[in-house]
């Protein structure tokens, strides 16, 4: 099971050295891409294993009705572009904070759309729906 601890600090709270800042870094926006690049692209895990670690296993541990797509189930999902190379850029984060040790890292698998309760909640400006 893999989880992120999202604690949205403001830029001002984090505008200092990493050792002086409040605990935590932006992780929820880049976690999948970093894990996909480090483990799936290098053949250490399958894509299915990564999806299980991030969705199905946490849902089971906490007895939540998430982590799977089925008729009548909650339609909460993220659409991810596995082919496009991206560079982690803190200035593009939706989160309040910008502190990350991964700035400039090349990754694959960035989100392009988030759907909650069957409705588009967020869509990347560059997503063409292809």
Query: How many residues does this entry show for the chain?
Result: 130
The catalytic residues are 5
Tokens of 30: 């880049």
- Structural contact between residues 112 and 123, judged by C-beta atoms closer than 8 angstroms: yes
| SS3 assignment for the chain | CCCCCCCCCCHHHHCCCCCCCCCCCCCCCCHHHHHHHHHHCCCCCCHHHHHHHHHHHHHHHCCCCCCCCCCCCCCCEEEEEEEEEEECCHHHCCCCCCCCCCCCCEEEEEEEEEEECCEEEEECCCCCCC
């Amino acid at each position: 099971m893999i989880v992120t601890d999202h604690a949205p600090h403001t830029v001002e709270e984090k505008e200092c050295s990493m050792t002086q800042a409040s605990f935590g870094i932006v992780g929820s926006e880049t976690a999948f891409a970093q894990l996909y690049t480090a483990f799936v692209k290098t053949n250490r895990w399958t894509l299915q294993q990564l999806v299980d670690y991030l969705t199905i296993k946490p849902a089971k541990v906490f007895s939540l009705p998430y982590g799977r797509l089925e008729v009548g189930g909650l339609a909460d999902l993220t659409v991810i572009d596995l082919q496009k190379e991206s560079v982690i850029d803190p200035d593009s984060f939706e989160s309040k904070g910008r502190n990350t040790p991964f700035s400039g890292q090349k990754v694959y698998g960035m989100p392009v759309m988030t759907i909650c309760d069957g409705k588009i909640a967020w869509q990347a400006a560059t997503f063409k729906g292809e």
